[in-house]
Amino acid sequence: MSTKIDERRPEAAPRRAGVGTVVRKVFGADWSSAAIALVGLIVVVGLLRPEFLSFTQLSNVAQQSVYVALMASGLAFLITQGEVDLSVGGTYVLSAVATAILIQNGLDPWLAAICGLLLAVAVGALNSVVVLGIRINSLIATLAMGWVLRGLSAAISGGRQIIGMPIDHPFFTILGGGEILNVAVSVWILVLVVAVLTVVLRATPFGFRVREIGSNEDAAQFAGIPVRRTKATAFLMSGFIAGIAGLLGLAFFTSGDPTSGNGFELFAVAGAVIGGNPLTGGRATVFGAAIGAVLLNAVSIALVYFNIPAVWSQFATGLIIISAVSVDGIRRHRRSPQDA
């Protein structure tokens, strides 16, 4: 009877690692739409405005996208499980402002940064208590948490920018102004985070659990996966990564601004989704999430290149989000069997 299995093996099964398979693999990957769109955008803008293609300009795009891309990478772990964290923007602001205040009061910037990170993780812990303990829908709970955090940041800073940072300190010169191989240190940190998280997602039981919970939460529970613990861990990670983003922001702008980071959470969520982390859950890609976020940022920067007024830029960004998500939805629809 085991020969039956062989009889029914589809002809396409043999694994030849030719150019064709590589191409198919790339185009079949979850993150391919966003990556193709990003490359396309850069090429189109570059053809019309060649100065956009300069290395400085492109690394500027990358550098400005780091914060949102980091948050999107962390969100990949939540969105897959059918949860979301809309407090990442607030966490970004709070960790930057709180760290700035500590530095202003004479604490060593590195120590202050550690405090800022701990604070961000504490926000993640609070989120998981509210969402998993009190069982409030994460959309509402973290949206409200985002307001709480921004309000708190404004309160502790008196609504003003926290300035007077010791900008010669390595915290600012390395994380804010440093470059390795002509690329900003913050971009390298993004690359590192994406690489580490990708390994976590693809090669650890935690990464598999995250996606399996998204596929079928009841079955995951029945198989013995600690669903609540897994979700709580993802909230902590999301907070931690938003904290890293906040510190990088502080190092770059050398001030803690309670009004910064507007709309970051939406860019991060939208970036993660168009990068291949569907809101229906079950699948995840950290790389895609980061690419999606960079894409959205690149779009708004490109719009500036064409002298499009700021009011229309928001309009255009919204349109692009909608079309990117639709293209993804249509492709997926076509790829999946008719009756899954």
Partner 1 sequence: MYTLEAQDISKSYGGVRALDRAAIAVRPGSVHALLGENGAGKSTLVKIMTGAIRPDSGVLRLDGADVRFASTADAFRQGVGVVSQELSLFPHLSVLANMFPMREPRRGPFVDRREMLRLAVPILDELGLEVDPMVPVSRLPLAERQLVEIGKALVTKPRVLLLDEPTSALESGATDRLLHILRVLRSQDVAVVFVSHILEEVMSVCDEITVLRDGVVVTAGEDVGAHTVESVVSAMIGDRPRVVVRPSGRALAEQAVATTTSGLRVDGVTLHRTVQDVSFAVEPGEIVGLAGLAGSGPAELLRALAGIESPVRGTISLPGGIKAPHGQRAHIAAGVAYVSGDRRRLGLMLDKPVWENVVQVRTMAMGKDGAFLRVPGLVTRAGEHMSRLNIRASSPEATAGSLSGGNQQKVVLAKWLDNTPSTIVLDDPTRGVDIGAKAEIHGLLGDLAAAGAVVVLRSTDLEELVAVCERVIVLYRGRICAELRGDGLSTSALLQLMNTGELAPEGSQAPAS
Does the protein bind partner 1 through residue 219 (CB under 8 A)? yes
Does the protein bind partner 1 through residue 212 (CB under 8 A)? yes
Rounded-to-integer distance, Cα 208 and Cα 303, Å: 39
Does the protein bind partner 1 through residue 133 (CB under 8 A)? no
Cβ–Cβ contacts within 10 Å for residue 282, how many?
Answer: 16
Of ligand ATP, partner 1, none, which one does residue 10 interact with (CB within 5 to 8 Å by kind)?
partner 1
| CA atoms in the 13 A half-sphere facing the CB of 66 | 29
Does the protein bind partner 1 through residue 233 (CB under 8 A)? no
List interacting residues with ligand ATP (CB under 6 A): 337, 339
197, 73 Cβ separation under 8 angstroms: yes
Does the protein bind partner 1 through residue 333 (CB under 8 A)? no
Q: Which stretch binds partner 1 (CB under 8 A): 25-33, 56-64, 96-104, 207-215?
A: 207-215
The residue count of the chain comes to 340
| CA atoms in the 13 A half-sphere facing the CB of 26 | 8
Of partner 1, ligand ATP, none, which one does residue 150 interact with (CB within 5 to 8 Å by kind)?
none
CB of 203 to partner 1, least distance (A): 5
CB of 278 to partner 1, least distance (A): 11
332 burial via Cβ count (<10 Å: 0-12, 13-18, 19+): middle
CB of 297 to partner 1, least distance (A): 31
Q: Which stretch binds partner 1 (CB under 8 A): 65-73, 150-158, 218-226, 246-254?
A: 218-226
Instruction: Please tell me what DSSP assigns to residue 336.
Output: S
CB of 339 to ligand ATP, least distance (A): 6
Q: Which of 75, 34, 27, 63 is nearest to 321 (CA)?
A: 34
Rounded-to-integer distance, Cα 280 and Cα 325, Å: 13
Closer residue to ligand ATP, CB minimum distance, 18 or 337:
337
